[in-house]
């Protein structure tokens, strides 16, 4: 199998329809300032999170090969992640929730490969490599948490979305892209923000996907562990935000015990969270996940499951009691007087499967116009078709070459000549095909003889309903890649000159070619041409302090003067404090 990205023991198991979301990590596009932002955030995180994060965090940084000084390369991370049975791939920002979950189910972290700008160093509304690599990756080194993450992906990938969910995904994706791009206009951001807020207020009843995303947010992204009185951080959103990791520990942020109720608590990705949930341990996360899965269509089936699929207007699957699976876009369900589903219909390409493998001859090309079938027992007959022996079937006239009239309890009638039946390996009949067939529900014609062969799925009830196909190979283009692409930032000549100075400082530190003359030369240019850049001055100060150069006083005075700007006063102060903590001064 050829692929546009490097395959290893983990990623080679990914189904082909997920490959289109993977992009090449744009490592050469990271500026020297990006590298400095990474280093600053990671040094702050390791210093602070060592005190407030779950013990798995620092251990995980070592196990996953994430450097404090350098933005990680995906290939390097994968060489180490494979030792714990995981892998990472680079993607372009947010990807659709079902696809995100499916990657996770295959033990693959999706890493948004863009890097936050210095203006969003504390927190970024867009997923970036700090959030993904330095937030998610370290905690998966804990085996119990890693299994929770995999299982979450497995269940989450089957969650049924509403028709509004994808619209919300696209709106949040656009807003995050605009907010992270320094070239975006305030008008663009305002309009995108207003659309997100309107959708948040008009989502209606939460879908399965919306609820499971809430659970994901309050655990994987913003989770706390321990006790309400003394919690530790394990959520990637908190681990990767030097602003929120401190904010969340304050009393102003309400701490609540984590329960299934968190599935109904929605979030705003663009703002700090007003409350967080605390789990006593990682095992409890799995318990709540299973509790939620018990409420989903995949386990409950029935009318609620098929109704969710119809409302979603997306590809989904139902499984009947015989094990036959019908995958397509469901558009109609007929119910009886007891509100039980008695007939289901899809529109457009539909595939039939058993045990997640397409039945031979029953793919989307054969069922190109859709599919319909009765559900339930025959009227006046105690034994269901699925439980009939070959002798029973013959006795009731359900036999090859016989013309039969089958009336179901809900009023659906199937009249036609039996062609053949399809059984599973255990001998249970799953499908009966008719010619010259008419299907009616009282006066409504559901299938006309002129339409060709009628294939009737056999089953007393819908035992499962979930998003996506039973067999991923049945549909050619699963999942949709957003047409809204992450904006490539246009750097001015001045920006590039500044990044050149960052690179000089970086090379001095890496190559240990530090000299006071070099530091002084760069510092003078900084003062004259880039007198609002605080991070480069902080890096120069670090080197000057390390070598005990006289210029350190001038740089320190410069940094103190910059602290009048509230936007980065705390960032400067935290950087200076870190140097003190490291006993450099």
- Within 13 Å, how many C-alpha atoms sit on residue 31's CB side? 20
Residue 325 shares a structural domain with residue 435: yes
Residue 90 shares a structural domain with residue 173: yes
pLDDT tens column, 413-430 = 999 999 999 988 888 899
Inside any domain, residue 462: yes
d(CA 311, CA 328): 13
Cβ atoms of residues 13 and 106 within 8 Å: yes
Structure-block tokens of residue 432: 């009966």
Inside any domain, residue 268: yes
Inside any domain, residue 27: yes
Residue 64 shares a structural domain with residue 104: yes
Given 258, 290, 322, the domain boundary residue is: 290
Residue 457 shares a structural domain with residue 499: no
Inside any domain, residue 2: no
Closest CA to 115 of 129, 101, 102: 129
d(CA 220, CA 124): 17
Cβ atoms of residues 325 and 306 within 8 Å: no
d(CA 285, CA 291): 10
Inside any domain, residue 504: yes
Cβ atoms of residues 161 and 312 within 8 Å: yes
Inside any domain, residue 511: yes
* pLDDT given at position 508: 95
Domain count for the chain, please give it.
Answer: 3
Inside any domain, residue 4: no
pLDDT of 406 above 70: yes
Structure-block tokens of residue 240: 């990767």
Residues 11-38 have a mean pLDDT of 92
Residue 135 shares a structural domain with residue 40: yes
pLDDT tens column, 266-288 = 887 767 789 999 999 999 999 99
* pLDDT given at position 1: 44
Residues 200-221 have a mean pLDDT of 90
Residue 450 shares a structural domain with residue 330: yes
Given 474, 504, 539, the domain boundary residue is: 474
pLDDT tens column, 123-139 = 776 778 888 788 888 88
* pLDDT given at position 177: 80
Residues 351-367 have a mean pLDDT of 97
Inside any domain, residue 276: yes
- Which residues, in sequence order, are CB contacts of 156 under 8 Å at separation 6+? 97, 98, 101, 104, 105, 209, 212, 213, 216
Residues 495-523 have a mean pLDDT of 95
* pLDDT given at position 3: 63
Secondary structure class of 213 (helix, strand, coil):
helix
Residue 73 shares a structural domain with residue 187: yes
* pLDDT given at position 155: 97
Residue 243 shares a structural domain with residue 103: yes
Cβ atoms of residues 421 and 397 within 8 Å: no
Q: Name which residue leads in pLDDT, 446 or 390.
A: 446
Residue 440 has φ and ψ, to the nearest 5°, of -135, 155
Residue 87 shares a structural domain with residue 230: yes
Element (DSSP H or E) covering residue 343:
strand 341-354
Residue 430 shares a structural domain with residue 515: no
Residue 441 shares a structural domain with residue 512: no
Q: What is the CATH number of the domain that holds 255?
A: 1.10.800.10
Among left, alpha and beta (phi > 0; psi -120 to 50; other), residue 421 is beta
Torsion of CA 577, 582, 584, 585, to 10 degrees: 40
pLDDT of 321 above 80: yes
Secondary structure class of 462 (helix, strand, coil):
strand
Residues 468-472 have a mean pLDDT of 95
Parent domain of 571: 493-581
d(CA 556, CA 566): 17
Residue 34 shares a structural domain with residue 146: yes
Average pLDDT over the chain reads: 91
């Amino acid at each position: 199998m050829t692929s546009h990205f490097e395959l290893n023991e983990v990623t080679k198991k990914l189904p082909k329809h997920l490959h289109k979301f993977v992009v090449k990590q744009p490592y050469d596009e990271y500026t020297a300032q990006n590298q400095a932002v990474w280093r600053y955030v990671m040094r702050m995180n390791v210093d602070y999170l060592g005190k407030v994060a779950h013990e798995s965090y620092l251990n995980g940084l070592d196990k996953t090969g994430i450097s404090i000084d350098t933005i990680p390369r995906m290939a390097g991370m994968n060489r180490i992640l494979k030792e714990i049975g995981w892998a990472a791939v680079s993607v372009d920002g947010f990807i659709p929730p079902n696809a995100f979950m499916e990657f996770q189910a295959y033990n693959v972290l999706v890493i948004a490969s863009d890097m936050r700008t210095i203006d969003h160093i504390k927190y970024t509304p867009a997923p970036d490599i700090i959030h993904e690599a330095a937030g998610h990756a370290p905690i998966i080194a804990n085996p119990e948490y890693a299994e929770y993450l995999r299982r979450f992906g497995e269940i989450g990938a089957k969650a049924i979305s509403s028709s509004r969910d994808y619209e919300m995904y696209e709106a949040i994706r656009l807003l995050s892209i605009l907010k992270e791009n320094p070239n975006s206009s305030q008008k663009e951001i305002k309009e995108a923000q207003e659309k997100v807020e309107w959708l948040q207020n008009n989502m209606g009843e939460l879908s399965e996907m919306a609820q499971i995303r809430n659970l994901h947010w309050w655990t994987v992204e913003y989770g706390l562990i321990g006790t309400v009185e003394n919690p530790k951080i394990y959520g990637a959103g908190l681990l990767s935000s030097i602003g929120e990791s401190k904010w969340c520990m304050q009393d102003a942020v309400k701490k609540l015990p984590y329960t299934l109720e968190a599935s109904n608590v929605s979030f705003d990705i663009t703002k700090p969270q007003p409350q967080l949930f605390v789990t006593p341990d990682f095992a409890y996360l799995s318990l709540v996940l299973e509790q939620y899965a018990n409420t989903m269509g995949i386990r409950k089936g029935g009318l609620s499951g098929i109704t969710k699929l119809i409302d979603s207007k997306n590809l989904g699957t139902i499984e009947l009691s015989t094990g036959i699976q019908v995958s397509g876009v469901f558009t109609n369900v007929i119910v009886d007087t007891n509100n039980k589903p008695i007939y289901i219909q899809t529109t457009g390409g539909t595939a039939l499967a058993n045990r997640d493998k397409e039945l031979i001859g029953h793919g989307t090309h054969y069922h190109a116009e859709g599919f319909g079938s009765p559900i339930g027992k025959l009227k006046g007959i105690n034994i269901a078709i699925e439980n009939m022996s070959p002798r029973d079937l013959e006795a009731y006239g359900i036999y090859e070459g016989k013309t039969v009239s089958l009336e179901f309890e809900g009023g659906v009638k199937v009249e036609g000549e039996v062609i053949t039946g399809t059984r599973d390996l255990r001998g249970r009949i799953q499908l009966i095909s008719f010619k010259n067939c008419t299907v009616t529900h009282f006066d409504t014609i559901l299938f006309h003889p002129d339409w060709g062969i009628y294939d009737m799925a056999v089953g007393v009830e819908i035992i499962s309903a979930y998003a996506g196909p039973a067999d991923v190979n049945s549909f050619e283009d699963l999942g949709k890649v957003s047409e809204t692409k992450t904006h490539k930032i246009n750097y001015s000549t001045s920006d590039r000159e500044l990044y050149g100075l960052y690179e000089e400082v970086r090379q001095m530190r890496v190559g240990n070619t530090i000299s006071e003359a070099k530091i002084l030369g760069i510092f003078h240019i900084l003062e004259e041409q880039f007198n609002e850049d605080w991070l480069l001055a902080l890096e120069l100060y670090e080197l000057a302090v390390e070598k005990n150069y006289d210029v350190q006083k001038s740089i320190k005075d410069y940094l103190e003067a910059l602290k009048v700007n509230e936007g980065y006063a705390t960032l400067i102060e935290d950087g200076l404090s870190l140097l003190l903590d490291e006993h450099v001064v």
